[in-house]
Structure 1
Amino acid sequence: MSQQPYLSVRNLSKHFKPSAFSRGPVVKALQDISFDIPRGQVVGLVGESGSGKTTIGRSILRLIEPTSGVVELGGTDVTAMSARQLREQRRKMQYIFQDPFASLSPRMTIGQILTEGLDIQRIGTRAERRARAERALEAVELPADAFDRYAHEFSGGQRQRIGIARALTLEPEFIVADEPVSALDVSIQAQVINLLRDLQIRLGLTMLFISHDLAVVEYICDTVIVLYLGRIMEIAPAAELYANPTHPYTRALLSAIPSPDPGAKTQRQILTGDIPSPANPPSGCVFRTRCPFAIEACAGAVPALRETAPGHARACIRDDLL
């Protein structure tokens, strides 16, 4: 498998300015985010609600416009594209939304939903578009007769399969999966995750997988990025991160994963307080207000993301915690 980055993100920032009718502060949702995803790999993006995970996914695909930074997909600068160029590029990059019901129009049949992107891109004849949509339904293990039915006729798990099928109809190379199983029952989550993993391997997809569930991320991802208040705290290969987390925030998140052994004794690291507002972030290290190991120096400069081992980097000044 090639290790050359297929997706390259450099110094990505997203600031939300107050509206003309508001005098509120600028919300700095993302600050200087940089990472790569090699072709055919899955990178997981984890963190608490409000950390900026969805903002990264939508900024990469320009569903919202980034404030600054560069996003390259297959060597092409997505952030510099015109509207027309971006429309053509969307064949290669697709989004799977968190809420399958809200993302599917109740007024359109499943066939219309699946072929809408093909219609916009003017791909194939009407018969060819239907055939491609039916192949996508087959790929997500739904019957062909789903083509003429409506979203409300399906269960939550089936609707998410439809959302996955919609992303596949354009035969993309890169997919952002934004909390794709968080709205599903636990019994259905495993089915959808296994389906995604199988499709990713079989089709050679490159994927950014966004989730707050670290157990799911461990199963499906090759590399994991830990995000807190719009900044990367730690990044490492999944096996390395779970075996040897080096940032206090990562350790706290991992300590909250339930153990399959009810008799096992695990040392919990409880985070106190809530994640601060991105409109008024702490100075220095943004995690310092909740970090049990914070010292006075943490309020100074923002810690750089430094490599502690090959492919493993963290943003923390406390080298004694390694």
Structure 2
Amino acid sequence: MTEAPLLSVRGLAKHYQTRGATLKILQDISFDIAKGEVVGLVGESGSGKTTIGRSVLRLIEPSAGAVVFDGDDLTTLSGGELRRRRPRMQYIFQDPYASLSPRMTIGEILTEGLKIQGIGSRAERLERARKALEQVELPPDAINRYAHEFSGGQRQRIGIARALTLAPDFIVADEPVSALDVSIQAQVVNLMRDLQQRLGLTMLFISHDLAVVEYICDRVIVLYLGRIMEIATSEDLYARPQHPYTQALMSAIPSPDPDLARKREILKGDIPSPANPPSGCVFRTRCPKALDACAAAVPQLREVAPGHVKACIRDDIGYPEP
């Protein structure tokens, strides 16, 4: 019997009302993440990646849909019920400077969640904090220092340690290396990959860096203007991208080998406003392969190869690729 996914998202939507307009940030988002799997979430700025990450943990309230974590629909839980499940679900923030309080020692930052949850004595909480610092390769004496005493890369390691102190099963990593110098990014990504493998963590890894996603993720979700365009294993997606949007993203990945470099596909225009998304396929206004039919209906995710799905009108109507 196939094991149920640790996280199952169905029909997730997030809308905001502002000045008489409805901002449709997310629409009909559905995906699963298996236990121990790392799933990447990619797309341009404004696609809704961070909103998905925060919605699945109910850091913000979804407008519609279900988020089932280990059998429980998080969207139906009361505040107290949700709080009791918080230790199993943690978040790594993008900005290592803004996400750590300058007024708290590192020990206080790392033990705050444990204290709120009533876990252990003060000595036991400090011991868990020291162990988390060791896991992210920082010295134990860091526990008595303040965030301003550390570099950006070290601060992000502290952010990772904060998530680990509660021994979570699932982590949302929201652009965890995008604010770091390029020379430091690889170190932090390697650390996260090692921790995931050693601890068996399940992770939703949000990033705009497709090279990082290829390195660390088992599967990848491609998002555009609040809708999923394609889902596939990392190996399959990077070797055989099917959706025109994915193909354009992949063509932008720099290659050190000029013989292997893809022909660059430049998308025209900017991503539309969620206040006025295009009818039908939201990508059609920038798609080089768009048909008249693309304006009439929202394409459904369909399997185009085992474990590989995409949302394209051409598949719905049986229209061949040009």
Name the TM-score class by shorter chain: over 0.9
Return the alpha-carbon distance in structure 2 between the equivalents of residues 229 and 78 of structure 1. Answer: 24
Which of residues 299, 310, 317 is equivalent to 1:314? 310
Return the alpha-carbon distance in structure 1 between the equivalents of residues 241 and 259 of structure 2. Answer: 23
SS at match of 1:175: strand
**Equivalence for 2:16:** 16
SS at match of 1:289: coil
Equivalences for 1:3-152 in 2 at 5 Å?
A: 4-18=4-18, 23-152=19-148
Return the alpha-carbon distance in structure 1 between the equivalents of residues 307 and 260 of structure 2. Answer: 31
Is 2:264 the counterpart of 1:249? Answer: no
**Equivalence for 2:276:** 280
SS at match of 1:66: coil
Is 2:178 the counterpart of 1:182? Answer: yes
**Equivalence for 2:149:** 153
Return the alpha-carbon distance in structure 2 between the equivalents of residues 265 and 196 of structure 1. Answer: 28
1:67-107 per-position Cα deviation (integer Å, ceiling 9, x unaligned): 01000111111111100011111010000000011000001
Q: Which runs of 5+ in 2 are unaligned?
A: none
The alpha-carbon deviation at position 321 of structure 1 amounts to 2.5
2:218 partner letter: D
The alpha-carbon deviation at position 310 of structure 1 amounts to 1.2
**Equivalence for 1:267:** 263
The alpha-carbon deviation at position 25 of structure 1 amounts to 0.5
Return the alpha-carbon distance in structure 1 between the equivalents of residues 261 and 22 of structure 2. Answer: 44
Return the alpha-carbon distance in structure 1 between the equivalents of residues 297 and 167 of structure 2. Answer: 44
SS at match of 1:189: helix
Is 2:234 the counterpart of 1:238? Answer: yes
Give 4+ residue runs of structure 1 displaced > 3 Å after superposition: 262-265
SS at match of 2:184: helix
Return the alpha-carbon distance in structure 2 between the equivalents of residues 107 and 101 of structure 1. Answer: 13
1:6-29 per-position Cα deviation (integer Å, ceiling 9, x unaligned): 1000000000112xxxx2401010
Structure 1's 265 and 115: CA in aligned 2 closer, same or farther, altered over 3 A?
closer
1:261-307 per-position Cα deviation (integer Å, ceiling 9, x unaligned): 14545311110100000010000000000001111111001000111
Return the alpha-carbon distance in structure 2 between the equivalents of residues 259 and 24 of structure 1. Answer: 46
The alpha-carbon deviation at position 4 of structure 1 amounts to 3.1
The alpha-carbon deviation at position 3 of structure 1 amounts to 5.2
Return the alpha-carbon distance in structure 1 between the equivalents of residues 203 and 259 of structure 2. Answer: 36
Return the alpha-carbon distance in structure 2 between the equivalents of residues 263 and 124 of structure 1. Answer: 57
Which of residues 139, 151, 165 is equivalent to 2:161? 165
1:131 partner letter: E
SS at match of 2:290: coil
Return the alpha-carbon distance in structure 1 between the equivalents of residues 185 and 312 of structure 2. Answer: 34
**8 Å contact 2:254–2:261 — kept in the other structure?**
no
2:10 partner letter: R
